[in-house]
Amino acid sequence: MLWSYILKLVILLPLVCGLMVGCLYLWRRLESRMPGKPATRTIAVRETMMISPGLRLAVIDFEGKRLLVSVGRGGVTLVDKAEGPLA
């Protein structure tokens, strides 16, 4: 009786965990294709660069401006901004 329970547990637990991980993976992949999402976004992250293990620079386009921000453990800091046409 006990061996039957352990055998079912050993077989079904990894199966359920695998199905859960697979569903989460598919959700992330298909989330952007779901209806009702806006096609155009106001914010676009153009490029990121790792400066050090805890610090990253990011170039962001927002309302006709290009912003250079520093992203770290302490938060986000505006480094520089440029106005004008975005190529």
**Residue whose entry in the numeric block shows the structure tokens 């912003």:** 67
> What token pair was written down for 38?
């806006």
Low-confidence ranges of the chain (pLDDT < 70): 36-39, 84-87
Of the candidates 59, 25, 27, the one whose C-alpha atom is nearest the C-alpha of residue 44 is: 59
Cβ count near 68 (within 10 Å)? 15
- Residues 29-52: tens digit of each pLDDT: 888 777 766 567 788 889 999 999
pLDDT for 86 equals 63
**What is the pLDDT, as a whole number, of residue 76?**
94
Output the six-digit token pair for 51. Answer: 């400066």
**pLDDT of res. 72:** 92
CA–CA separation, 21 vs 10, rounded Å? Answer: 17
